[in-house]
């Protein structure tokens, strides 16, 4: 009897283990981190931006951009006006976008600053703002406002608006150029003989010797100026790529959806001046505000004349 009970208990436990082995075990799901959410948000907007820019026509992508943006002189003349309609128009084209940080971003384009102005309650990294700008230029068909050369396939033609008009230095004659080169050589010789301390450099990189096709060896550890003199050519440093400009204007509570209307004073006409000199004779009186007291007085005078 005892043996039968032991066998029963043994097989029962064995059966439970077999069932537990084949039983469905739900996988433990972990919530994605903020870094993963940001990366997915950026990659999604970037892929949509690149595919849309390739598929859309150039005229369609930039149909909302005014023609004067492509001419620097016209652009400067338009922006000199204090309350021009173009700034008001672009300020009314708003994009509200939620981001993985759990807050909203209100963005519009500022033609005067040539950048994207935005309101947000938190500090937002550049990549997130860049993703929202991609959505903005596709929504309002102003692809050329996106100036980030690290993402765009072709540089925007509006980059010339950011260039400074620096006058080119006057061309030197042969005698002046020779004189200037001699002065530079004399200055180098004086600096070599000068009692200047030479400090030891502890951050020296291992020099890599590169062989030219002619068989000569050049040391890449040498400074750029020395390498230029040896090679006889001028190596220009790489120009930094242009990025988008973002202007922070405060929290979302500071943003007003209603634009203020500029009040213009009404014009008052003096009856005596109209009789004597005509409609536009008294310019000072015309700038004054017409109040109810003057209106009542003018009405009484009119009634007296009619009587």
For residue range 15-24, what is the model confidence (pLDDT) as tens digits?
Answer: 777 777 666 5
Longest dimension (CA), the chain: 137
As a whole number of angstroms, the distance between CA 44 and CA 49 comes to 9
pLDDT, greater one: 194 or 150: 150
Angle among Cα 262, 263, 266 to the nearest 5 degrees reads 145
Q: Work out the average pLDDT over 152-177.
A: 68
- What per-residue confidence (pLDDT) applies to 195? 58
Q: Work out the average pLDDT over 135-154.
A: 90
Residues, the chain? 307
- What per-residue confidence (pLDDT) applies to 97? 93
pLDDT, greater one: 299 or 115: 115
Tell me: the pLDDT tens digits for 247-295?
999 999 998 887 776 666 665 545 555 455 555 555 555 555 567 777 7
Strands 115-120 and 246-248 turn out to be parallel
Mean pLDDT of the chain: 75
- What per-residue confidence (pLDDT) applies to 111? 92
As a whole number of angstroms, the distance between CA 248 and CA 119 comes to 6
Task: Report residue 108's pLDDT band, with 50, 70 and 90 as the boundaries.
Answer: very high
**Does 110 score more than 90 pLDDT?**
yes
- What per-residue confidence (pLDDT) applies to 152? 86
Max mean pLDDT among 54-68, 92-106, 160-174, 192-206 falls in 92-106
Considering the chain, what percentage of its residues have pLDDT values greater than 90?
Answer: 26
Cα 159 to the center of its chain, rounded Å: 12
Which residue has tokens 């550890």?
221
pTM for the full predicted model? 0.58
| DSSP tag of 262 | P
- What per-residue confidence (pLDDT) applies to 307? 66
Task: Report residue 205's pLDDT band, with 50, 70 and 90 as the boundaries.
Answer: very low
Q: Work out the average pLDDT over 196-202.
A: 52
Tell me: the pLDDT tens digits for 56-80?
887 888 899 999 999 888 888 888 8
Angle among Cα 20, 25, 29 to the nearest 5 degrees reads 160
Task: Report residue 209's pLDDT band, with 50, 70 and 90 as the boundaries.
Answer: very low
């Amino acid at each position: 009897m005892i043996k039968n009970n032991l066998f029963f208990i043994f097989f029962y436990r064995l059966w439970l283990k077999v069932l537990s082995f084949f039983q469905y075990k739900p996988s433990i799901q972990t919530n994605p981190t903020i870094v993963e959410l940001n990366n997915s948000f950026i990659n999604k907007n970037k892929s949509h931006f690149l595919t849309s820019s390739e598929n859309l026509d150039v005229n369609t992508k930039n149909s909302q951009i005014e023609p004067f943006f492509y001419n620097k002189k016209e652009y400067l003349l338009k922006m000199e006006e204090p309350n021009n309609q173009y700034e008001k128009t672009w300020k009314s084209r708003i994009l509200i976008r939620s981001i993985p940080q759990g807050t909203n971003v209100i963005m519009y384009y500022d033609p005067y600053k040539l950048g994207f102005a935005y309101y947000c309650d938190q500090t937002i990294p550049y990549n997130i703002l860049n993703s929202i700008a991609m959505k903005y230029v596709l929504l309002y068909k102003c692809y050329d406002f996106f100036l980030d050369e690290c993402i765009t396939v072709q540089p925007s033609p509006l980059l010339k608006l950011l260039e400074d008009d620096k006058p080119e230095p006057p061309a030197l004659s042969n005698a002046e150029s020779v004189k200037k080169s001699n002065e530079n050589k004399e200055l180098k010789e004086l600096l070599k003989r000068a009692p200047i301390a030479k400090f030891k450099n502890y951050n020296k990189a291992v020099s890599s010797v590169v062989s030219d096709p002619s068989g000569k060896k050049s040391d890449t550890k040498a400074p750029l100026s020395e390498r230029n003199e040896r090679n006889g050519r001028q190596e220009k440093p790489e120009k930094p790529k242009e990025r988008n400009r973002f202007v922070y204007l405060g929290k979302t509570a500071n943003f007003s959806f209603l634009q203020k209307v500029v009040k213009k004073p009404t014009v008052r006409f003096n009856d005596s001046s109209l009789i004597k000199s005509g409609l536009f004779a008294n310019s000072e009186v015309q700038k004054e505000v017409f109040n109810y007291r003057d209106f009542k007085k003018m009405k009484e005078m009119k009634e007296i004349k009619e009587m």
